[in-house]
Amino acid sequence: MVGRRYGMKSRANSRPLTFQVTLTVLALVVFALALLVGYGLFATMSADNDALQRQKAFVANGLQDAVNGLMREQESVAVWDDAVNFAKAHDQQWMSENLGEWMYSYYGHDRAFILDEHNLPVHAMEDGKTVAPNRYADAESTAAPVVSKLRQLMAEIASSDDADPPKPVAEDLVSLDGKPAILSVMPLVPSTDRLTQEPGSEYLHVAVKFIDARVVGNIARQYMLADAQVLPFLGTPGSASVPLIDSRGVILGYIGWSPDRPGLTLIRKTGPALLGGAFLAGGVLWFLLRRLRRASDQLQSSQDHAQFLAFHDRLTGLPNRALFEDRLKRALVAAQRQRSRIALLYIDLDRFKTVNDTLGHPAGDELVRQTARRLESRVREVDTVARLGGDEFAIVLVDIRNVGAAEDLSTKVLEDLTRPFVLLGDQVFIGASIGIAVSVDTGSDPDDLLRKADIALYEAKKNGRGRFQLFAGDMDDILTRRRLIESELRAALDRGGELRLAYQPVYAADCQTIVGAEALVRWEHPIHGALPPAHFIGIAEERGMIGLLGGWVLTKAANFAASTDLPWIAVNVSPVQLRDEAFAAQVLEIVGQAGLAPSRLQLEITESVLLEDSDTARTTLKTLRKAGVHIALDDFGTGYSSISYLRRYQVDKLKIDRSFVRQIGVDDDTHAIVEAMVRLARALRIQVTVEGVETADQRDMALAIGCDELQGFLLASPMAEAQMRETISAARKLPQRTLSAG
């Protein structure tokens, strides 16, 4: 009886204790929930404020881009010999067509004024129409401080000993006609050394662009802002606005927009879930009281987490290589059993290293995470997205009907990855290359399928990136041949004897006088015979051999030219070589050792060099031109070269591509294009060479258009060194002509 009564008392006493523990735990849970709600509200406000600050930074950057763009557009006409001459001649028609109305029609400038050395107007344009110069009086009080600032800067530059002075330009935000605007003033200066002017005698170009719906619309589209508009300076603007402030600190107006509120949006979307979480917390309370079950659940959760980490990528949560290979094997087995097909997409991000180098590894990690989310959103639940390491991903598509399904998905993935990424407050644009391999009906080996996708990815990157490539049966053979050519080319460079140069003369307009020659590399392969450059130059660039090959070509060509009285020798240069900071020194060392004057060397570059707009390439070409080396733009017309690029790089010669020459006299449009090229070269004082002249009609047409030099099979084919010497000697004996430097 005692024992039973004692036991009953113990159980009775345990109930109040349990109740007290329950109340204590409940109070703690309620307090924790209150803290969670408070922190959630704080996080919401912080997220909205952070988003607003980022948008303000975007607008400020966009406005600065508009200012910089105006100055770049203005520079395209301000640094120009003709601009200096015609402005000082007060040629109103020329100024209207090039400095006034043209700036409105081409760049959208709203006002343009030309001021003489005394800051008096000599030309004026308003809203695309030439007006009387005295109309500048309406804008003079606004522009005068900026003009004065520029004159002072130019005086300081003229009196300084700086070898590389800054570009003289003055700009400010102003109020003109009651509207905010960007005003930029720049001197008209020569683009070449052939024209000089005394300091203080410079004419000025004044450009004005109103900050209106066009400018604000461009900023809004670039940074995805809603309802962006220019607001007048009236009272206190909303929080989503950026003031337009001039150099004196005066507010001219605002750019306002409808702000993005991610925190508030998140609360609205997750409110029901949070309410449900509050009810769930009550159930969790009773769950916590079951210690044994809790310990069991924790142990199970720990085991599940450990298993998850063993087969998933820690950064993205995607399947890792081990789980990917397992799922690929299972997918192939199921495909064989069901007589279906699977596709493997091997994805490599373009410019990922650039993001890591410029923004840091945290930004690179965030880029990988966002990429993973975009890829997951594009596939079905039965498919697999995996991260194989670094910036490489893979997608396994199961039960596809045909190859088109894989190609369609690849197109959508490429579109997704070209959209901008926001990384730590910076907007980043990348891209991707994709290799596709599809299983055959009779079954495929996982390793073989992955190898084929890897080969296809290599081909996609080789062919320009930003694209997908489907594995074809001959890619294995192509890859093997490319590796064999690489190995044999290395051996040929080491042994010597197999590589040689051919020379094709370039003639003056009389078609008799040799003004120079182009050196063309040939490979006398012991098995395949003569191989043209197209078979091995690209491989040399990909495998890091172009420096050795280019150095060999340049040395042989320089030595040959030095041993003849040939006016100049032309050598083609790869864009890869121009990315080497030591290239200019290497070229000058080679011509020095050969005893060849730098002025007798002509380097031919392609338009891709101009498009890259690399600081290294620009510095290299500037160094070489300063030393006397001439620069020719090869295959002109097949790419994209703006006038500003041609002026910036200051090439000496344009070589019109043979594809245009074939259509001269046959296609009227092509004929007009070639005439326009020649007129452009004449305006920039650049020589013009026509390549690929194969018929007398092509020759006559080229001469009629006004080309300076001709090159092609009609005049002479590429020839060996000995034959080239004989050709030079024969040309020298012509009584009516002598060799000319062109």
**86-95, 435-444, 547-556, 715-724: the lowest-pLDDT one:** 435-444
Encoded tokens for 608:
């891709």
Answer for the pair 626, 589: CB distance below 8 angstroms, yes or no: no
Strands (E), 164-306: 170-176, 179-187, 204-210, 226-231, 241-245, 251-258
User: Measured between alpha carbons, how far is 700 from 707 in angstroms, rounded to an integer?
Assistant: 10
What Cα–Cα distance (Å) separates residue 79 from each residue in 485, 644, 728? Answer: 48, 10, 41
657 CB-side CA count, 13 A: 13
- Which H helix or E strand runs over 514? strand 514-525
The residue whose two tokens read 């993205």 is 316
Structure-token pair, residue 407 = 């190609």
Helical (H) or strand (E) element with 695? none
Mean pLDDT on 232-244? 79
The full 3-state SS of 17-35, as one line of letters, equals HHHHHHHHHHHHHHHHHHH
The domain 493-732 having CATH identifier 3.10.20.30: the answer here is no
Q: Is the pLDDT reported for residue 739 higher than 50? A: no
Burial class (CB in 10 A: 0-12, 13-18, 19+), 469: buried
Residue 420, pLDDT above cutoff 70: yes
Q: How far apart are CA 453 and CA 497, in angstroms?
A: 39
Mean pLDDT of 110-131: 95
pLDDT at 95 over 70: yes
DSSP 97: I
Residue 414's alpha-carbon distances to 380, 409, 433, 465, 467, in angstroms, are 17, 9, 8, 11, 7
Return the DSSP state at 91.
Answer: -
What is the percent of the chain where pLDDT is above 90?
Answer: 35
Which tens digit of pLDDT belongs to each residue from 466-487? Answer: 889 888 765 555 555 666 666 6
Tokens linked to 173? 């935000």
Cα pseudo-dihedral 188, 193, 197, 199, rounded to 10: 80
Of 22-31, 225-234, 396-405, give the range with the top mean pLDDT: 396-405
Q: Which residue has the higher pLDDT, 651 or 132?
A: 132
**What pLDDT shows up at residue 590?**
92
Using DSSP bridges, classify how beta strands 226-231 and 111-115 pair: parallel, antiparallel or unpaired: unpaired
What is residue 471's predicted lDDT score, i.e. its pLDDT? 85
Q: 571: which residues sit within 8 A by CB, 6+ positions away?
A: 518, 519, 553, 554, 557, 601, 602, 603, 604
Answer for the pair 647, 610: CB distance below 8 angstroms, yes or no.
no
Question: CA-to-CA distance for 356 and 358, rounded, in angstroms?
Answer: 6
Contact 463, 400 (CB under 8 A): no
Entry field: residues in the chain: 742
pLDDT computed for residue 372 by the predictor: 94
DSSP code of 43?
H
Specify the range with the lowest mean pLDDT, choosing from 140-144, 208-212, 353-357, 692-696.
353-357
Q: What is the mean pLDDT of the chain?
A: 82
Instruction: Give residue 740's pLDDT.
Output: 38
CA 435-438-440 angle, 5° bins:
150
Q: In the structure encoding, which two tokens stand for residue 303, read together?
A: 């085991």
Q: Which of the four pLDDT bands, split at 50, 70 and 90, describes residue 253?
A: confident
Q: What is the pLDDT of residues 315-333, one digit of tens each?
A: 999 999 999 999 999 998 8
For residue 172, report the phi and psi dihedrals to the nearest 5 degrees: -165, 160
- Range with lowest mean pLDDT among 18-27, 138-147, 341-350, 484-493: 18-27
Tell me: pLDDT of 11 over 70.
no
Q: Report the side by side order of strands in the sheet with 431-438.
A: 384-389, 392-400, 341-350, 431-438, 468-470
3-state secondary structure string, 325-390?
Answer: HHHHHHHHHHHHHHCCEEEEEEEEEECHHHHHHHHCHHHHHHHHHHHHHHHHCCCCCCCEEEEEEC
Task: Print the SS3 string covering 521-578.
Answer: EEEEECCCEEECHHHCHHHHHHCCCHHHHHHHHHHHHHHHHHCCCCCCEEEECCHHHH
Reply yes or no on whether the pLDDT at 712 is more than 80: yes
What CATH class does 63-258 carry? Answer: alpha beta
**Residue 524's CB: how many other CB atoms inside 10 A?**
13
555 near 594, Cβ under 8 Å?
Answer: yes
Alpha-carbon distance of 83 to 98, in angstroms, equals 8
Residue 346: the pLDDT is 94
The residue with greater pLDDT, 537 or 458, is 458
Average pLDDT over residues 661-681: 79
- Average of per-residue pLDDT across 252-275: 82
Give 588-644 pLDDT, tens digit per residue.
Answer: 999 999 999 999 999 988 766 665 556 788 888 889 989 999 998 887 765 555 555
Q: Which two tokens stand for residue 53?
A: 């600050």
Whether the predicted pLDDT of 671 surpasses 90 = no
Query: Could you give the strand order of the β-sheet that contains 226-231, starting from the edge strand earlier in sequence?
Result: 226-231, 251-258, 241-245
Mean pLDDT of 153-172: 85
Among the residue ranges 170-174, 193-197, 680-684, the one predicted with the least confidence is 680-684
- Mapped onto helix, strand or coil, the DSSP state of residue 276 is helix
Mean pLDDT of 667-693: 82
Hey, CA dihedral for 299, 303, 308, 310, is it positive or negative? positive
pLDDT of residue 475: 59
**Which residues, at least 6 apart from 649, have a Cβ–Cβ distance to it below 8 Å?**
610, 618, 621, 631
Report pLDDT for 551.
85
Q: Are strands 170-176 and 179-187 parallel, antiparallel or unpaired?
A: antiparallel
**Domain extent listing, the chain:** 2-51+263-300, 63-258, 308-473, 493-732
CB count in 10 Å sphere of residue 294: 12
- Give residue 493's pLDDT band: very low, low, confident or very high (50, 70, 90): low
Least confident range from 263-272, 291-300, 727-736: namely 291-300
Classify domain 308-473 at the CATH superfamily level: Reverse transcriptase/Diguanylate cyclase domain (3.30.70.270)
* 556-572 pLDDT per residue, tens: 999 999 999 999 999 98
Query: Distance between CA 689 and CA 628 in Å, rounded?
Result: 20
What integer pLDDT is reported at residue 416 of this predicted model? 93
Q: Look up the pTM and report it.
A: 0.43
Which segments of 55-212 are extended strands (E)?
111-115, 121-126, 129-131, 170-176, 179-187, 204-210
pLDDT at 234: 65
pLDDT of residue 742: 35
pLDDT digits (tens, 9 = 90+) for 303-315: 676 677 788 999 9
Is 590 strand, coil or helix?
helix
Average pLDDT over residues 45-61: 89
CA distances for 564 relative to 570, 578, 704, 727, 741, angstroms? 14, 28, 32, 11, 13
